[in-house]
Chains A and B, each alone.
Chain A
Amino acid sequence: MPELDKIIHSPARLRIMAALVGLETGSELDFTTLGKMLALTDGNLGAHLQTLEEAGYVKVEKTFVARKPRTFLRATARGRGRFEEHVEALREICRV
Chain B
Amino acid sequence: MNKEPTLTPTPDEARAALAQVDQVLAQTRHAIRQGISAPLLMLWGCIWIVADVTTQFDHQAMNWLWSVLDLVGIVGWVWIFRSHRHRVKSSRGWRYGAFWGILFFYAILWMNLLVPADWPKTNQEWIAFEPEFRRMTAYMHTVPMFAYVVGGLWLDPFFIWLGAVVTALIVIGFCFVHEYFYLWLAVSGGGALVVSGVFIKKFWK
**Interface residues, chain A, with chain B CB atoms under 8 Å away:** 4, 6, 9-12, 14-15, 18-19, 21-30, 33, 37-38, 44, 47-48, 65-66, 68, 70, 72, 87, 90-91, 93-94, 96
- Nearest chain A CB to B152's CB is how many angstroms away? 17
- Nearest chain B CB to A92's CB is how many angstroms away? 8
A residues near B91, Cβ cutoff 8 Å: 24-27
Question: Which positions 1-38 of chain B face chain A at CB distance < 8 Å?
Answer: 1-2, 4-5, 7, 9-11, 14-15, 17-18, 20-21, 24-25, 27-29, 31-32
B28-A10 in contact (CB<8A): no
B87-A96 in contact (CB<8A): no
B residues near A44, Cβ cutoff 8 Å: 1
B20-A28 in contact (CB<8A): no
B residues near A93, Cβ cutoff 8 Å: 9-11, 14
**Interface residues, chain B, with chain A CB atoms under 8 Å away:** 1-2, 4-5, 7, 9-11, 14-15, 17-18, 20-21, 24-25, 27-29, 31-32, 85-92
B28-A37 in contact (CB<8A): yes
The closest CB in chain B to the CB of A70 belongs to B86
Bound-complex Cα distance A19 to B11 (A): 23
Q: List 24 A-B contacts (CB under 8 A).
A: A4-B9, A9-B4, A9-B7, A11-B17, A12-B2, A15-B24, A18-B20, A18-B21, A18-B24, A19-B25, A19-B27, A21-B25, A22-B28, A27-B92, A28-B88, A37-B31, A47-B1, A48-B1, A66-B86, A72-B89, A90-B21, A91-B18, A93-B9, A94-B14
Residue of B20, B24, B27, B86 near A30 (CB, 8 A) is B86
A residues near B87, Cβ cutoff 8 Å: 29-30, 33
A33-B2 in contact (CB<8A): no
Residue of B4, B31, B88 near A10 (CB, 8 A) is B4
- Nearest chain A CB to B31's CB is how many angstroms away? 6
A96-B11 in contact (CB<8A): yes
Bound-complex Cα distance A9 to B4 (A): 8
Bound-complex Cα distance A28 to B32 (A): 11
Bound-complex Cα distance A65 to B32 (A): 18
Residue of A22, A28, A90 near B24 (CB, 8 A) is A22
Known: A9-B7, A12-B2, A94-B11. Is A27-B90 also a contact (CB below 8 A)?
A: yes
A residues near B92, Cβ cutoff 8 Å: 24, 26-27
The closest CB in chain B to the CB of A18 belongs to B24
B residues near A65, Cβ cutoff 8 Å: 85-86
